[in-house]
Amino acid sequence: MIRHYLEAVILYSIKMFKGERSVHGIYHMLKGKKSSQTIQDAHFFRLSPLFGTVPSLSREELMKTAAGLENNGLIDPGTREDHFIISRQGEELLTEYLDKQPLPAALNGLKFHSEAFAFWGRLSLVIQSLSHIIRSQKSFYPIQRNLGIQSFVKQFLSGAGKNRVLLSEHLYSELVSLLETREALEQKIFVLKLSGSHRIGYTYNQIAAELADDEWHIKFVFLGTIHFMMEQISMGKGDYPLLASLLKNKGNSNNGSLTQSSKATLELLAKGYSLQDIAGIRKLKSNTIEDHIVEIALADKEFPIHDYVSEKEKMLILRAAGESKTKQLKSIKMLVKNESISFFKIRLVLAKAGDNL
């Protein structure tokens, strides 16, 4: 049996990796490690929604979970150490489990994991502050202890006009407009997490007890709700001006999920520098710059790759990838049988193909 939602998430990740990455790859992916390899894995194995969704995960907890899954027959050892594949029993139990409690459709960890904490922190503290202010309660214990969040909220409130009642009404209207389309469970969890002059927001554990649910499921549903809100707000239609002002990075940039090093490479690419030029300018190895280019292609589906891969090479790679039915580069390269096609070219074509493979 699957004991809790996090175990289901880990089992799902093992299933998607198909034994081609170790459990340490799952660890980095769920923690949200900003490395080219981890970001590429999230894309290649269709795990972008889960990227960075469990920042508190420890290696010990992950290895213990994997050991439990193996002991219960839900996963089998792969061809290399710490590599696993899901068993037939694991497939059946996972399907049954996720049919009842699916991954939140709006979950988008790769896009929002680094901004979600700041957005929720600002929103929850603004709501708590307004709740006290309109009741003339000037002194209260802030639910968010992060000094950056507190400073932001003070500036937000000082620049939002003196009519706090009107501000509260407008904010309430924007939240209702967003949340009225969501499932009752999402609405309930969101409301229970809020703090005001009359109550302190519930912890995940308290919500789980209140709703007789799994604490990890509560966490993922709530995170999916926050990601949904951020996606709707960042579309820039102007429907949620107050909430938009709480986003750390306004707008919907394709570069948001890039590492800082890849952003620097992208800036030089935009100026017309070649791969070799950039490696020289940045004093980095060419294969490091290649990693950046693959990462950029994953983040921006409009990024042109014809400067690096010919159309003929692209078709050979796609054909080999289809025949191999794997994301293992060595397997694809063996099938290609073309010395001019490097691992870099294969990775780049896979990045552009995305879920179409």
Would you state the pLDDT for residue 136?
Answer: 86
Would you state the pLDDT for residue 251?
Answer: 46
Would you state the pLDDT for residue 153?
Answer: 93
Nearest CA among 221, 192, 189, 225 for reference residue 5:
221
Would you state the pLDDT for residue 22?
Answer: 92
Backbone phi, psi, residue 126, to 5°: -60, -45
Beta bridge partners of 85: 76
Would you state the pLDDT for residue 250?
Answer: 52
Whole-model pTM?
0.80
Residue 9 makes CB contacts below 8 A (sequence gap 6+) with: 30, 50, 53, 54, 103, 216, 220
Would you state the pLDDT for residue 2?
Answer: 94
Q: HSE of 37 in the Cβ direction (CA atoms, 13 Å)?
A: 9
CA distance readout (Å), 113 to 31, 55, 123, 196:
10, 9, 16, 26
- Burial of residue 159 (CB within 10 Å: 0-12, 13-18, 19+) is exposed
Would you state the pLDDT for residue 257?
Answer: 67
Low-confidence ranges of the chain (pLDDT < 50): 251-252
| Torsion angle of the four alpha carbons 331, 332, 334, 339, in this order, in degrees rounded to the nearest 10 | -140
Neighbour tally for 205: CB within 10 Å? 10
Domains within the chain, CATH numbers bracketed: 5-100 (1.10.10), 109-244 (no CATH), 260-356 (no CATH)
Question: What's the CA gap between 184 and 302, in Å, rounded?
Answer: 37
Q: What does the pLDDT look like over 56-104, one tens digit per residue?
A: 999 999 999 999 999 999 999 998 899 999 999 999 999 999 999 999 9
Query: Locate tokens 């580069």: which residue?
Result: 329
E-strand spans in 38-184? 75-77, 84-86
CA distance readout (Å), 101 to 13, 94, 143, 208, 344:
16, 10, 30, 14, 38
Question: What's the CA gap between 226 and 241, in Å, rounded?
Answer: 16
